[in-house]
Amino acid sequence: MILRNARKEELSFIREQRVQAYEEHSSNIPTEHWAALKKAISSDADQQEGVDLIVAEVNGVILGSVALFPAKTDAYEGYVDELDYPEIRVLAVSQEARGKGVASALIDECIARTKAKGYDYIGLHTGEFMKDAIALYAKYGFERMPQYDFEPANDGIIVKAFRKKIHG
């Protein structure tokens, strides 16, 4: 498995794959929430200055991707204060590649890049309905940071904040 930065010509494919990966949640959440989530994960936020858009590739096929937002950026379009550590965002793995270690490889790469930049922590946010993702992050030792939770669609669905200590 090759982990590398995405190329510009791959952006539309990556965003399409991301929406397909998240689509399984659309039946568990209100229509408006899915519309807001779909808009957020399809936006060009992953092209902000300093964002690493990373893909996992096997035999020339992109199986998944993740965006690593630098510290002190508005990764959530105004919902969360700018944090003092990088944030993992929009982690997505194609349906066909699930259970093959792609998500773990992408998380490991984000942690390695964050460590290399000298940060003590790495963070992320995930919808409370994303049970598999939350279980994976718990295995990695991410801890809840409820003070950074937010409710994007005013529908009672909370986007939960997590943080992992990676130094010290």
Q: pLDDT tens digits for 124-142?
A: 999 989 999 999 999 999 9
Check: CB of residue 147 under 8 Å from CB of residue 163.
no
Domains and CATH numbers, the chain: 2-165 (3.40.630.30)
Q: Calculate what percentage of the chain has a pLDDT beyond 90.
A: 72
| Structure confidence at residue 123 as a pLDDT band (50, 70, 90) | very high
pLDDT band of residue 87 (cuts 50, 70, 90) is very high
pLDDT for res 45:
87
Check if the beta carbon of residue 68 is closer than 8 Å to that of residue 88: yes
Question: Between these two residues, 33 and 73, which has the higher pLDDT value?
Answer: 33
Residues 37-72: tens digit of each pLDDT: 898 899 888 998 999 999 999 999 999 999 999 988
CA distance 151 to 1: 36
